[in-house]
Structure 1
Amino acid sequence: MAATPWTLLPYGALPDQVAEITVPDGGGLLPLVLLLHGGVWREPHDRKHIRPLAAALAATGVVVANVDYRRVGGAGGWPETFDDVALATDTLVDLVEAAGLADVDRDAIALVGHSAGGHLALWASVRHLTDAGVPGHRGTPLAISGVVPLAGVVALSSLQRTGPDADSVERLMGGDPATVPDRYRGADPTLLGAPGCTVVLVHGTDDQAVPVGTARDYAAAHRGVELVELPGTGHFEVIDPASAAWPSVRDAVHRALGTSTSGSMVPGGDPVVSLPA
Protein backbone atom coordinates (compact mmCIF):
# COMPACT_ATOMS: atom_id res chain seq x y z
CA MET A 1 0.00 0.00 0.00
CA ALA A 2 1.76 3.16 -1.20
CA ALA A 3 1.70 6.28 0.95
CA THR A 4 0.84 9.77 -0.26
CA PRO A 5 3.30 12.64 0.39
CA TRP A 6 3.13 14.15 3.85
CA THR A 7 1.25 17.34 4.67
CA LEU A 8 2.58 19.88 7.19
CA LEU A 9 -0.02 20.52 9.89
CA PRO A 10 0.53 23.05 12.70
CA TYR A 11 -0.76 22.10 16.14
CA GLY A 12 0.29 25.43 17.67
CA ALA A 13 1.45 28.92 16.73
CA LEU A 14 5.22 28.39 17.14
CA PRO A 15 7.60 27.21 14.38
CA ASP A 16 8.39 23.88 16.05
CA GLN A 17 4.74 23.11 16.82
CA VAL A 18 4.11 21.21 13.61
CA ALA A 19 3.61 17.64 12.45
CA GLU A 20 4.02 15.98 9.08
CA ILE A 21 0.92 13.94 8.32
CA THR A 22 1.37 10.95 6.02
CA VAL A 23 -1.85 9.27 4.89
CA PRO A 24 -1.96 5.84 3.23
CA ASP A 25 -3.72 5.32 -0.06
CA GLY A 26 -7.30 4.23 0.15
CA GLY A 27 -9.87 5.48 2.60
CA GLY A 28 -12.21 4.48 5.34
CA LEU A 29 -11.56 4.59 9.06
CA LEU A 30 -7.80 4.47 9.64
CA PRO A 31 -5.54 3.85 12.65
CA LEU A 32 -3.17 6.68 13.59
CA VAL A 33 0.35 6.82 15.02
CA LEU A 34 1.72 9.88 16.79
CA LEU A 35 5.46 9.54 16.08
CA LEU A 36 8.02 11.34 18.26
CA HIS A 37 11.61 11.60 17.04
CA GLY A 38 14.67 11.29 19.22
CA GLY A 39 17.93 13.22 19.35
CA VAL A 40 18.52 13.66 23.12
CA TRP A 41 15.83 16.38 23.20
CA ARG A 42 18.28 18.74 21.47
CA GLU A 43 18.54 20.87 18.39
CA PRO A 44 19.43 20.39 15.58
CA HIS A 45 17.79 16.94 15.73
CA ASP A 46 14.26 17.18 14.38
CA ARG A 47 11.51 15.21 12.63
CA LYS A 48 13.42 14.94 9.34
CA HIS A 49 15.61 12.02 10.37
CA ILE A 50 12.61 9.81 11.18
CA ARG A 51 10.76 10.42 7.90
CA PRO A 52 11.71 6.99 6.47
CA LEU A 53 10.04 5.27 9.43
CA ALA A 54 6.96 7.48 9.07
CA ALA A 55 6.66 6.56 5.40
CA ALA A 56 7.16 2.86 6.08
CA LEU A 57 4.49 2.81 8.79
CA ALA A 58 2.07 4.69 6.55
CA ALA A 59 2.65 2.10 3.85
CA THR A 60 1.19 -0.50 6.24
CA GLY A 61 -2.13 1.35 6.26
CA VAL A 62 -1.59 3.76 9.15
CA VAL A 63 -1.96 7.54 9.29
CA VAL A 64 1.31 8.87 10.74
CA ALA A 65 1.75 12.24 12.44
CA ASN A 66 5.52 12.87 12.59
CA VAL A 67 5.57 15.35 15.46
CA ASP A 68 8.13 18.07 16.11
CA TYR A 69 8.51 20.00 19.36
CA ARG A 70 10.70 22.65 20.96
CA ARG A 71 14.10 21.32 21.95
CA VAL A 72 17.07 22.16 24.14
CA GLY A 73 19.38 24.63 22.40
CA GLY A 74 16.39 26.45 20.97
CA ALA A 75 13.21 27.35 22.80
CA GLY A 76 12.78 23.96 24.50
CA GLY A 77 13.63 22.21 27.73
CA TRP A 78 11.54 22.16 30.89
CA PRO A 79 8.66 22.88 30.61
CA GLU A 80 8.38 23.85 26.94
CA THR A 81 9.28 20.48 25.41
CA PHE A 82 6.70 18.79 27.62
CA ASP A 83 4.09 21.46 26.91
CA ASP A 84 4.49 20.86 23.18
CA VAL A 85 4.18 17.09 23.41
CA ALA A 86 1.11 17.46 25.62
CA LEU A 87 -0.48 19.89 23.16
CA ALA A 88 0.34 17.69 20.17
CA THR A 89 -1.00 14.50 21.69
CA ASP A 90 -4.15 16.27 22.91
CA THR A 91 -5.04 17.98 19.62
CA LEU A 92 -3.53 16.34 16.55
CA VAL A 93 -6.14 13.64 16.04
CA ASP A 94 -8.88 16.27 15.92
CA LEU A 95 -6.75 18.52 13.71
CA VAL A 96 -6.11 15.72 11.20
CA GLU A 97 -9.83 15.16 10.85
CA ALA A 98 -10.69 18.88 10.80
CA ALA A 99 -8.20 19.39 7.96
CA GLY A 100 -9.92 16.65 5.99
CA LEU A 101 -6.76 14.56 5.81
CA ALA A 102 -8.21 11.29 7.15
CA ASP A 103 -10.98 9.71 9.17
CA VAL A 104 -9.31 8.33 12.30
CA ASP A 105 -10.32 5.17 14.10
CA ARG A 106 -10.49 6.46 17.68
CA ASP A 107 -10.02 2.92 18.97
CA ALA A 108 -6.67 2.53 17.17
CA ILE A 109 -4.34 5.37 18.16
CA ALA A 110 -0.78 4.74 19.35
CA LEU A 111 2.20 6.75 20.51
CA VAL A 112 5.54 5.66 19.04
CA GLY A 113 8.85 7.29 19.91
CA HIS A 114 12.54 6.67 19.37
CA SER A 115 15.18 7.20 22.06
CA ALA A 116 14.36 10.56 23.71
CA GLY A 117 11.11 10.45 21.75
CA GLY A 118 10.41 7.11 23.41
CA HIS A 119 10.67 8.88 26.76
CA LEU A 120 8.25 11.57 25.58
CA ALA A 121 5.81 9.01 24.18
CA LEU A 122 5.78 7.02 27.42
CA TRP A 123 5.50 10.21 29.47
CA ALA A 124 2.57 11.42 27.35
CA SER A 125 0.76 8.18 28.09
CA VAL A 126 1.00 8.72 31.87
CA ARG A 127 0.39 12.47 32.11
CA HIS A 128 -2.84 11.78 33.96
CA LEU A 129 -0.73 10.34 36.80
CA THR A 130 1.18 13.58 37.36
CA ASP A 131 0.12 16.04 40.04
CA ALA A 132 -2.21 18.88 39.09
CA GLY A 133 -0.14 21.90 38.15
CA VAL A 134 2.70 19.85 36.65
CA PRO A 135 3.37 20.90 33.04
CA GLY A 136 1.41 18.66 30.69
CA HIS A 137 -0.90 17.30 33.39
CA ARG A 138 -4.16 15.73 32.17
CA GLY A 139 -7.20 15.13 34.30
CA THR A 140 -8.04 11.94 32.41
CA PRO A 141 -5.98 9.28 30.59
CA LEU A 142 -5.06 10.01 26.98
CA ALA A 143 -7.37 8.13 24.62
CA ILE A 144 -4.80 5.79 23.08
CA SER A 145 -4.67 2.05 22.55
CA GLY A 146 -0.93 1.66 23.05
CA VAL A 147 2.57 3.09 23.26
CA VAL A 148 5.77 1.77 21.64
CA PRO A 149 9.14 3.14 22.82
CA LEU A 150 11.83 2.18 20.28
CA ALA A 151 15.20 2.09 22.06
CA GLY A 152 13.37 4.39 24.43
CA VAL A 153 14.75 6.36 27.34
CA VAL A 154 12.16 4.82 29.64
CA ALA A 155 13.91 6.27 32.69
CA LEU A 156 15.68 9.60 32.77
CA SER A 157 18.65 7.79 34.31
CA SER A 158 18.89 5.54 31.23
CA LEU A 159 21.38 7.48 29.14
CA GLN A 160 25.07 6.70 29.26
CA ARG A 161 26.78 9.44 31.26
CA THR A 162 29.78 9.67 28.94
CA GLY A 163 30.56 11.48 25.71
CA PRO A 164 29.10 14.68 24.25
CA ASP A 165 25.55 13.94 25.41
CA ALA A 166 26.43 13.14 29.03
CA ASP A 167 24.52 16.15 30.36
CA SER A 168 21.47 15.82 28.10
CA VAL A 169 19.00 14.96 30.85
CA GLU A 170 20.20 17.78 33.11
CA ARG A 171 19.96 20.25 30.23
CA LEU A 172 16.43 19.08 29.45
CA MET A 173 15.30 19.31 33.06
CA GLY A 174 17.27 22.40 34.07
CA GLY A 175 19.18 20.56 36.78
CA ASP A 176 19.80 17.18 38.36
CA PRO A 177 17.33 15.23 40.52
CA ALA A 178 18.80 16.64 43.72
CA THR A 179 18.37 20.21 42.51
CA VAL A 180 14.93 20.02 40.87
CA PRO A 181 13.32 16.85 42.28
CA ASP A 182 9.74 17.98 41.60
CA ARG A 183 10.48 18.26 37.90
CA TYR A 184 11.77 14.71 37.74
CA ARG A 185 8.73 13.43 39.63
CA GLY A 186 6.56 14.92 36.89
CA ALA A 187 8.70 13.89 33.93
CA ASP A 188 10.23 10.46 34.59
CA PRO A 189 7.85 7.66 33.49
CA THR A 190 9.40 5.22 35.96
CA LEU A 191 8.21 7.45 38.81
CA LEU A 192 4.65 7.76 37.51
CA GLY A 193 3.34 4.21 37.10
CA ALA A 194 1.97 2.17 34.21
CA PRO A 195 0.01 3.83 31.38
CA GLY A 196 -3.03 1.55 31.50
CA CYS A 197 -2.83 0.74 27.79
CA THR A 198 -0.80 -1.71 25.70
CA VAL A 199 2.94 -1.08 26.10
CA VAL A 200 5.45 -2.73 23.76
CA LEU A 201 9.12 -1.91 24.33
CA VAL A 202 11.39 -2.66 21.35
CA HIS A 203 15.09 -2.60 22.17
CA GLY A 204 18.32 -3.89 20.63
CA THR A 205 20.63 -5.94 22.81
CA ASP A 206 23.65 -4.10 21.37
CA ASP A 207 22.32 -0.59 22.05
CA GLN A 208 25.24 1.43 23.44
CA ALA A 209 23.34 4.71 23.84
CA VAL A 210 20.40 3.44 25.90
CA PRO A 211 21.27 0.04 27.41
CA VAL A 212 18.67 -2.72 27.05
CA GLY A 213 18.81 -3.31 30.80
CA THR A 214 16.71 -0.20 31.36
CA ALA A 215 13.92 -1.66 29.22
CA ARG A 216 14.20 -4.96 31.08
CA ASP A 217 13.88 -3.14 34.40
CA TYR A 218 10.81 -1.22 33.23
CA ALA A 219 9.11 -4.36 31.92
CA ALA A 220 9.86 -6.22 35.15
CA ALA A 221 8.41 -3.40 37.25
CA HIS A 222 5.17 -2.94 35.31
CA ARG A 223 2.75 -5.82 34.92
CA GLY A 224 1.52 -6.38 31.37
CA VAL A 225 4.39 -4.64 29.57
CA GLU A 226 5.76 -6.55 26.57
CA LEU A 227 9.48 -6.36 25.82
CA VAL A 228 10.82 -7.31 22.40
CA GLU A 229 14.60 -7.68 22.47
CA LEU A 230 16.37 -7.68 19.12
CA PRO A 231 19.64 -9.67 19.24
CA GLY A 232 22.63 -7.91 17.70
CA THR A 233 20.69 -4.68 17.13
CA GLY A 234 21.97 -1.23 18.06
CA HIS A 235 20.34 2.12 18.73
CA PHE A 236 19.37 3.32 15.26
CA GLU A 237 18.36 0.16 13.40
CA VAL A 238 14.93 0.31 15.05
CA ILE A 239 14.04 3.42 13.00
CA ASP A 240 15.51 2.13 9.73
CA PRO A 241 12.89 0.34 7.59
CA ALA A 242 15.71 -1.20 5.56
CA SER A 243 17.18 -2.93 8.61
CA ALA A 244 16.50 -6.42 9.93
CA ALA A 245 14.67 -4.82 12.87
CA TRP A 246 11.84 -3.47 10.72
CA PRO A 247 9.44 -6.46 10.82
CA SER A 248 9.55 -6.51 14.62
CA VAL A 249 9.03 -2.75 14.82
CA ARG A 250 6.14 -2.87 12.36
CA ASP A 251 4.44 -5.73 14.20
CA ALA A 252 4.92 -4.08 17.60
CA VAL A 253 3.23 -0.91 16.37
CA HIS A 254 0.28 -2.86 15.01
CA ARG A 255 -0.06 -4.78 18.27
CA ALA A 256 -0.21 -1.47 20.10
CA LEU A 257 -2.85 -0.26 17.67
CA GLY A 258 -4.81 -3.47 17.94
CA THR A 259 -4.61 -3.91 14.18
CA SER A 260 -3.05 -6.66 12.09
CA THR A 261 -0.26 -6.88 9.56
CA SER A 262 1.74 -9.69 8.03
CA GLY A 263 4.56 -10.74 10.34
CA SER A 264 8.04 -12.08 9.83
CA MET A 265 11.02 -12.87 11.98
CA VAL A 266 14.23 -10.89 12.19
CA PRO A 267 16.88 -12.46 9.91
CA GLY A 268 19.94 -13.70 11.73
CA GLY A 269 18.27 -13.95 15.13
CA ASP A 270 14.69 -14.16 16.24
CA PRO A 271 13.35 -11.49 18.60
CA VAL A 272 13.26 -12.42 22.25
CA VAL A 273 9.77 -11.54 23.44
CA SER A 274 8.81 -11.21 27.08
CA LEU A 275 5.04 -11.53 27.11
CA PRO A 276 2.81 -9.75 29.62
CA ALA A 277 2.25 -11.63 32.87
Structure 2
Amino acid sequence: MTSSASATPSASTSAASTRSYGSDPAQVYDVLPPAAGAPAVTGTVVVVHGGFWRAQYDREHARPEAAAFAGAGYHVVLAEYRRVGMPGGGVPGTLEDVRDLLASVSSQPDLPKPIVLVGHSAGGQLVAWAAGQPWARERGIVGVVSLAGVVDLGAADRLHLGSDATRDFVGSGPGTAAWTSADPMSTLPPKVPVRLVNGADDDTVPHEVADAYVARARAAGGDVTEDLVAGADHFAVIDPTTPAFAHVLTAVHSLL
Protein backbone atom coordinates (compact mmCIF):
# COMPACT_ATOMS: atom_id res chain seq x y z
CA MET A 1 0.00 0.00 0.00
CA THR A 2 1.36 3.38 -0.96
CA SER A 3 0.39 7.01 -0.64
CA SER A 4 0.71 9.97 -2.93
CA ALA A 5 2.30 11.73 0.07
CA SER A 6 5.61 10.25 1.11
CA ALA A 7 7.27 10.51 4.49
CA THR A 8 10.61 12.11 5.23
CA PRO A 9 11.49 10.53 8.58
CA SER A 10 14.40 12.88 9.11
CA ALA A 11 12.28 16.01 8.73
CA SER A 12 13.48 18.58 11.26
CA THR A 13 11.33 19.72 14.17
CA SER A 14 13.58 22.69 14.86
CA ALA A 15 10.98 25.07 13.40
CA ALA A 16 8.30 23.87 15.84
CA SER A 17 6.57 26.34 18.13
CA THR A 18 4.56 25.56 21.26
CA ARG A 19 1.12 26.99 22.00
CA SER A 20 -1.17 26.71 25.02
CA TYR A 21 -4.86 25.86 25.07
CA GLY A 22 -5.24 26.04 28.86
CA SER A 23 -3.48 27.07 32.04
CA ASP A 24 -2.01 23.67 32.96
CA PRO A 25 1.56 22.99 31.76
CA ALA A 26 0.26 19.87 30.00
CA GLN A 27 -2.34 21.82 28.03
CA VAL A 28 -0.04 22.61 25.14
CA TYR A 29 0.68 21.56 21.58
CA ASP A 30 3.62 21.91 19.23
CA VAL A 31 3.08 23.22 15.70
CA LEU A 32 5.36 21.84 12.99
CA PRO A 33 5.25 23.51 9.57
CA PRO A 34 5.57 21.46 6.40
CA ALA A 35 9.19 20.51 5.76
CA ALA A 36 11.09 22.57 3.21
CA GLY A 37 10.78 21.01 -0.20
CA ALA A 38 7.87 18.76 0.82
CA PRO A 39 4.95 18.35 -1.58
CA ALA A 40 2.20 20.89 -0.91
CA VAL A 41 -0.71 19.37 0.99
CA THR A 42 -3.61 21.50 2.23
CA GLY A 43 -4.55 20.27 5.65
CA THR A 44 -3.45 19.82 9.25
CA VAL A 45 -2.67 16.55 10.98
CA VAL A 46 -3.20 16.50 14.75
CA VAL A 47 -1.09 13.79 16.42
CA VAL A 48 -2.37 12.46 19.76
CA HIS A 49 0.10 10.19 21.51
CA GLY A 50 -0.60 7.05 23.50
CA GLY A 51 0.75 5.50 26.67
CA PHE A 52 -2.39 4.10 28.34
CA TRP A 53 -3.35 7.66 29.39
CA ARG A 54 -0.58 7.62 32.03
CA ALA A 55 1.54 10.56 33.12
CA GLN A 56 4.89 8.90 32.44
CA TYR A 57 4.21 8.78 28.70
CA ASP A 58 4.30 12.17 27.01
CA ARG A 59 4.37 13.47 23.46
CA GLU A 60 8.12 13.11 23.01
CA HIS A 61 7.86 9.51 21.79
CA ALA A 62 5.51 10.68 19.01
CA ARG A 63 7.87 13.35 17.72
CA PRO A 64 9.36 11.22 14.89
CA GLU A 65 5.84 10.43 13.73
CA ALA A 66 4.92 14.13 13.76
CA ALA A 67 8.11 15.03 11.88
CA ALA A 68 7.27 12.42 9.23
CA PHE A 69 3.87 14.02 8.62
CA ALA A 70 5.60 17.39 8.25
CA GLY A 71 8.00 15.72 5.85
CA ALA A 72 5.01 14.57 3.82
CA GLY A 73 3.86 18.18 3.43
CA TYR A 74 1.26 18.55 6.15
CA HIS A 75 0.95 21.20 8.82
CA VAL A 76 1.24 19.20 12.03
CA VAL A 77 0.06 19.61 15.61
CA LEU A 78 1.68 17.41 18.25
CA ALA A 79 -0.71 17.43 21.17
CA GLU A 80 -0.20 17.10 24.89
CA TYR A 81 -2.90 16.59 27.50
CA ARG A 82 -3.40 15.88 31.20
CA ARG A 83 -3.00 12.20 32.02
CA VAL A 84 -3.67 9.78 34.84
CA GLY A 85 -1.38 10.59 37.74
CA MET A 86 -1.51 14.34 37.01
CA PRO A 87 -3.94 16.89 38.49
CA GLY A 88 -7.08 16.80 36.34
CA GLY A 89 -5.98 13.74 34.37
CA GLY A 90 -8.41 10.95 33.50
CA VAL A 91 -12.13 11.26 32.89
CA PRO A 92 -13.45 13.90 32.43
CA GLY A 93 -10.32 16.10 32.40
CA THR A 94 -8.49 14.34 29.58
CA LEU A 95 -11.59 14.39 27.40
CA GLU A 96 -12.07 18.08 28.12
CA ASP A 97 -8.47 18.67 27.09
CA VAL A 98 -9.05 16.99 23.72
CA ARG A 99 -12.15 19.09 23.20
CA ASP A 100 -10.37 22.33 24.10
CA LEU A 101 -7.25 21.42 22.15
CA LEU A 102 -9.26 20.93 18.98
CA ALA A 103 -11.17 24.16 19.53
CA SER A 104 -7.84 25.97 19.75
CA VAL A 105 -6.36 24.26 16.70
CA SER A 106 -9.49 25.01 14.71
CA SER A 107 -9.21 28.70 15.54
CA GLN A 108 -5.60 29.14 14.35
CA PRO A 109 -5.46 30.94 10.99
CA ASP A 110 -2.09 29.40 10.10
CA LEU A 111 -3.33 25.83 10.55
CA PRO A 112 -5.30 25.09 7.39
CA LYS A 113 -8.42 23.00 7.26
CA PRO A 114 -9.36 20.26 6.72
CA ILE A 115 -8.10 18.63 9.91
CA VAL A 116 -7.33 14.94 10.35
CA LEU A 117 -6.77 13.46 13.80
CA VAL A 118 -4.22 10.66 14.20
CA GLY A 119 -4.08 8.89 17.55
CA HIS A 120 -2.04 5.92 18.73
CA SER A 121 -3.14 3.39 21.38
CA ALA A 122 -4.76 5.48 24.13
CA GLY A 123 -4.56 8.38 21.69
CA GLY A 124 -6.53 6.20 19.30
CA GLN A 125 -9.28 6.07 21.89
CA LEU A 126 -9.19 9.83 22.26
CA VAL A 127 -9.47 10.55 18.54
CA ALA A 128 -12.20 7.92 18.11
CA TRP A 129 -14.02 9.59 21.01
CA ALA A 130 -13.68 12.95 19.25
CA ALA A 131 -15.08 11.42 16.05
CA GLY A 132 -18.29 10.67 17.91
CA GLN A 133 -18.81 14.16 19.30
CA PRO A 134 -21.42 16.50 17.82
CA TRP A 135 -18.82 19.26 17.41
CA ALA A 136 -16.41 17.18 15.28
CA ARG A 137 -17.36 18.67 11.92
CA GLU A 138 -17.70 22.15 13.39
CA ARG A 139 -14.00 22.01 14.26
CA GLY A 140 -13.10 21.31 10.63
CA ILE A 141 -12.34 17.65 11.30
CA VAL A 142 -12.91 15.55 8.19
CA GLY A 143 -11.73 12.23 9.56
CA VAL A 144 -9.86 10.27 12.17
CA VAL A 145 -7.08 7.68 11.93
CA SER A 146 -6.81 5.37 14.93
CA LEU A 147 -3.50 3.50 15.14
CA ALA A 148 -3.72 0.41 17.37
CA GLY A 149 -6.43 2.35 19.18
CA VAL A 150 -8.30 1.35 22.32
CA VAL A 151 -11.59 2.05 20.55
CA ASP A 152 -13.67 -0.31 22.71
CA LEU A 153 -13.15 0.28 26.43
CA GLY A 154 -15.14 -2.81 27.34
CA ALA A 155 -12.92 -5.07 25.24
CA ALA A 156 -9.82 -3.48 26.72
CA ASP A 157 -11.19 -4.00 30.21
CA ARG A 158 -11.97 -7.66 29.62
CA LEU A 159 -8.41 -8.18 28.42
CA HIS A 160 -6.97 -6.18 31.34
CA LEU A 161 -4.85 -4.18 28.91
CA GLY A 162 -2.09 -2.14 30.48
CA SER A 163 -2.73 -3.67 33.91
CA ASP A 164 -6.31 -2.39 33.94
CA ALA A 165 -5.33 0.99 32.55
CA THR A 166 -8.86 1.59 31.31
CA ARG A 167 -10.34 1.60 34.81
CA ASP A 168 -7.55 3.86 36.01
CA PHE A 169 -8.36 6.26 33.18
CA VAL A 170 -12.11 6.33 33.72
CA GLY A 171 -12.01 6.05 37.51
CA SER A 172 -14.76 3.43 37.49
CA GLY A 173 -15.90 0.30 35.68
CA PRO A 174 -18.29 -0.47 32.83
CA GLY A 175 -21.84 0.75 33.15
CA THR A 176 -21.09 4.03 34.90
CA ALA A 177 -21.86 7.43 33.43
CA ALA A 178 -18.14 8.24 33.27
CA TRP A 179 -17.43 5.04 31.36
CA THR A 180 -20.19 5.72 28.86
CA SER A 181 -19.01 9.29 28.37
CA ALA A 182 -15.50 8.11 27.44
CA ASP A 183 -16.24 5.00 25.38
CA PRO A 184 -16.22 5.48 21.59
CA MET A 185 -18.67 2.57 21.46
CA SER A 186 -21.28 4.84 23.05
CA THR A 187 -21.50 7.35 20.20
CA LEU A 188 -21.81 5.17 17.11
CA PRO A 189 -21.92 5.85 14.28
CA PRO A 190 -19.06 8.37 14.32
CA LYS A 191 -19.82 11.82 12.94
CA VAL A 192 -16.78 11.73 10.63
CA PRO A 193 -15.05 8.86 8.80
CA VAL A 194 -12.75 6.67 10.88
CA ARG A 195 -9.81 4.70 9.50
CA LEU A 196 -8.28 2.08 11.77
CA VAL A 197 -4.74 0.88 11.13
CA ASN A 198 -3.81 -2.07 13.31
CA GLY A 199 -0.83 -4.39 13.45
CA ALA A 200 -1.52 -8.07 12.99
CA ASP A 201 1.25 -8.86 15.50
CA ASP A 202 0.24 -6.31 18.14
CA ASP A 203 0.18 -7.91 21.59
CA THR A 204 -0.17 -4.62 23.50
CA VAL A 205 -3.55 -3.66 22.04
CA PRO A 206 -4.57 -6.73 19.99
CA HIS A 207 -6.42 -5.90 16.80
CA GLU A 208 -9.43 -7.86 18.07
CA VAL A 209 -10.13 -4.91 20.38
CA ALA A 210 -11.50 -3.13 17.30
CA ASP A 211 -13.78 -5.93 16.08
CA ALA A 212 -17.00 -4.87 17.82
CA TYR A 213 -16.35 -1.18 17.11
CA VAL A 214 -15.96 -1.81 13.38
CA ALA A 215 -18.98 -4.13 13.19
CA ARG A 216 -21.34 -1.88 15.15
CA ALA A 217 -20.19 1.33 13.49
CA ARG A 218 -20.77 -0.12 10.05
CA ALA A 219 -24.13 -1.58 11.06
CA ALA A 220 -25.14 1.90 12.19
CA GLY A 221 -24.14 3.37 8.84
CA GLY A 222 -20.74 4.73 9.81
CA ASP A 223 -17.89 5.23 7.35
CA VAL A 224 -15.36 3.01 9.14
CA THR A 225 -12.61 0.86 7.65
CA GLU A 226 -9.83 -1.25 9.12
CA ASP A 227 -6.41 -1.94 7.62
CA LEU A 228 -4.74 -4.91 9.31
CA VAL A 229 -1.03 -4.69 8.59
CA ALA A 230 0.77 -8.02 8.38
CA GLY A 231 3.93 -8.30 10.45
CA ALA A 232 3.34 -5.03 12.33
CA ASP A 233 3.46 -4.75 16.10
CA HIS A 234 2.12 -2.05 18.40
CA PHE A 235 4.77 0.54 17.62
CA ALA A 236 5.37 -0.12 13.92
CA VAL A 237 2.40 2.09 13.04
CA ILE A 238 4.09 5.17 14.56
CA ASP A 239 7.60 4.40 13.33
CA PRO A 240 8.29 6.18 10.02
CA THR A 241 11.11 3.74 9.23
CA THR A 242 8.78 0.73 9.01
CA PRO A 243 6.69 -0.46 6.04
CA ALA A 244 3.59 -0.10 8.21
CA PHE A 245 3.90 3.69 8.21
CA ALA A 246 3.06 3.79 4.50
CA HIS A 247 -0.36 2.41 5.45
CA VAL A 248 -0.76 5.28 7.92
CA LEU A 249 0.11 7.90 5.31
CA THR A 250 -2.36 6.32 2.91
CA ALA A 251 -5.13 6.46 5.52
CA VAL A 252 -4.44 10.12 6.31
CA HIS A 253 -4.20 11.17 2.67
CA SER A 254 -7.45 9.38 1.81
CA LEU A 255 -9.37 11.66 4.17
CA LEU A 256 -8.16 14.96 2.70
TM-score bracket, normalised by the shorter chain, equals 0.7 to 0.9
The verdict on how the C-alpha distance between 1:4 and 1:44 changes in structure 2, with shifts beyond 3 A counting, is closer
CA distance in 1, matches of 2:190, 2:145: 12
The verdict on how the C-alpha distance between 1:103 and 1:191 changes in structure 2, with shifts beyond 3 A counting, is closer
Tell me whether 1:7 sits opposite 2:2 in the alignment. no
Choose between structure 1 and 2 for higher RCO, CA contacts under 8 A separated by at least 6 residues. 2
The answer as to whether partners of 1:126 and 1:141 remain within 8 angstroms in 2 is no
More off after superposition, 216-225 vs 150-159: 216-225
Instruction: Note the residue ranges of structure 1 that are not aligned, 5 or more in a row.
Output: 129-137, 259-277
The answer as to whether partners of 1:43 and 1:73 remain within 8 angstroms in 2 is yes
Equivalent positions of 1:255-270 (< 5 A) are 255-256=254-255, 258=256
Question: Given the alignment, which residue of 193, 201, 224 partners 1:198?
Answer: 193
Equivalent positions of 1:62-101 (< 5 A) are 62-75=74-87, 76-95=89-108, 97=109
2:123 aligns with: 117
The verdict on how the C-alpha distance between 1:214 and 1:164 changes in structure 2, with shifts beyond 3 A counting, is closer
1:237 aligns with: 236
Richer in helix (by share): 2
Structure 1 residue 13 displacement after superposition: 1.4
Structure 1 residue 159 displacement after superposition: 2.8
The answer as to whether partners of 2:136 and 2:192 remain within 8 angstroms in 1 is no
The answer as to whether partners of 2:18 and 2:30 remain within 8 angstroms in 1 is yes
RMSD across aligned C-alpha pairs, in angstroms?
2.2
More off after superposition, 202-211 vs 151-160: 151-160
Secondary structure of the 1:165 match is helix
Structure 1 residue 24 displacement after superposition: 0.7
Question: Given the alignment, which residue of 27, 35, 38 partners 1:17?
Answer: 27
Structure 1 residue 214 displacement after superposition: 2.2
AA matched with 1:169? T
TM-score, with length taken from structure 2: 0.86
CA distance in 1, matches of 2:158, 2:253: 33
AA matched with 2:119? G
2:4 aligns with: none
TM-score, with length taken from structure 1: 0.80
The answer as to whether partners of 2:91 and 2:182 remain within 8 angstroms in 1 is no
The verdict on how the C-alpha distance between 1:146 and 1:140 changes in structure 2, with shifts beyond 3 A counting, is closer
AA matched with 1:126? G
Structure 1 residue 3 displacement after superposition: 5.2
Q: Percent identity?
A: 38
CA distance in 2, matches of 1:141, 1:184: 25
The answer as to whether partners of 1:216 and 1:227 remain within 8 angstroms in 2 is no
Secondary structure of the 1:166 match is helix
Equivalent positions of 1:8-47 (< 5 A) are 8-25=18-35, 30-47=42-59
2:247 aligns with: 248
Task: Give the aligned length.
Answer: 239
Equivalent positions of 1:157-168 (< 5 A) are 157-159=154-156, 165-168=162-165
CA distance in 1, matches of 2:49, 2:80: 7
The answer as to whether partners of 1:159 and 1:209 remain within 8 angstroms in 2 is no
AA matched with 2:121? S
